Amino acid sequence: MLFTPVPLGKKTFPREVLRSDVKACLKAGPCGLGEKAVYLNSFFVDRRFYAAYSDISRVFKRVAMSKGGFTGKGMFSSIPYLVVQLRDGTEKQCNFKYEEQVDEFIIEFRKRCPGIPTVSREGERRLAEERAKEEARYLKTLSPEAEETLKELRTAKAYLEEHAEVPAHLSASAKQKRVMDQMNPYYRYAAIAIFMLAAGALAIGIVSVIRHQGYAMYFVLFGMAFMFYTMSSQILPTRRNNKRYADRVWQEAVAESRELNTQCPGYKVPDEYAHPATYDRMIRVIREGKAKTADEAWKVMTEELMAINSSVTVSQTEYDEITAIKPMFLIVRQESGSLIMDDYRS
C-alpha cells in the first residue's frame, strides 16, 4: 500500500487494519468495499480515502449530463459519480469512468448495509411523485387471471433481485457489445493512426531534447497530448476494448443468466432479457390493463420498449429501466431479426 487511506469520518482504523482491509476489499472501479469501510478515490489516486460504515448516512449515484438530458428525452452520454454522504453532513463525490461500476458498487453496498439509503433525498422525492403518477394509471381491480400473472412476475423479479450481480453483468455487457457493434471501424483506424503519429512525435521530441535541438519540447507536448487523447476516447482498440472481447463477455453473461434463469421460479423471460427491469415493465403493462397473461404482457412491453426513441419523454424510473435493458433487445433483434417469445420456447 503506497498511500495510507485518509479517513473522512470520525471513526479511524490502525494502519495495519487498513492495509489488510483495502487489500482484500471488493473493488468497483476506483473505489472499493472492505469489511471495515468503503474506500473512495481522489481525482488521481484510487481508494485514497476511507469512511467507516457507521459514519455513512447515504450512498447514491449522481449522473452529470448536458442540459437536454434533463428533459428526459432519449438516451444521452453522461458522466457518472458515486456520492457518499456522512453523518456529520460532509459529502464525498467520486468520479467513475463507467456507470456500470457505480451500479456494481451500490448493489454490493445495499447487500452489506440494507438500512442505509442508496438514493438521494431529491431522488426519493421524485420517485414518490413518479409512483403516485403511476398509481393513477393503474386499474383499481384486476381479473383473477391478471392477479395470478402479477404473482408469477413478482416472484421471478424478486429472485433476480436476490442475485442482482448477474442481471447487472448482463446489462453492462449488452451496453458494451452494442457500442462495439455500432462503432464505425474507420474510427478505430483513425485512432490508431493518430496514436502512432503521436508516439512518433513523442519519440522525435525526446531525441531532440537529448540533442538540445529547437522546438523539441513542442514535439514532446503535442505527442503526449494526442496519445492521451486517443487513449481516453475509448475508440483505440485495447485488450478489453474491441469487438471480439465484447462478444465474448456478452456470451459469458448470457450463459450466467441462463444458469440463473433455469432456477428462477414464476414466469421465465428469455435468458437474454432476464433482468428485474424487464419484469417491472411487464408488471406495469398488467396493472395498466393492457394485458392479462404474461405472454401478452411480454408482447406489449416489447412493442412499447422498441418504440421509444429520442422524441419520447420518459420518467427517471423509466429512463433507468430503458438504459438497463434496451441494449439487450437491440442486440437480439439484430442477431435474430425477431423478438417473438415463441421463438425462444420452441
3-state secondary structure of 223: helix
pLDDT in tens, 92-131: 999 998 888 898 899 899 999 999 999 999 888 888 888 8
Task: Band the pLDDT of 238: cuts 50, 70, 90.
Answer: confident
Mean pLDDT, residues 307-318 taken together: 76
What does DSSP say about strands 79-86 and 91-95: parallel, antiparallel, or unpaired?
antiparallel
Pairing outcome for strands 79-86 and 37-40: unpaired
Q: Give, in order, the Cα–Cα distances in Å from 221 to each of 52, 98, 203, 208, 234.
A: 42, 28, 11, 13, 21
Q: In the chain, pLDDT over 90 holds for what percent of residues? A: 47
For the chain, give the mean pLDDT. 85
Range of weakest confidence among 21-35, 64-78, 218-232: 64-78
CA–CA separation, 81 vs 260, rounded Å?
30
Separation CA 171–CA 9 (nearest Å)? 34
CATH number belonging to domain 6-112: 2.30.29
Whole-structure pTM value: 0.67
**In this predicted structure, what is the pLDDT of residue 337?**
53
Domain boundaries for CATH 2.30.29 within the chain: 6-112
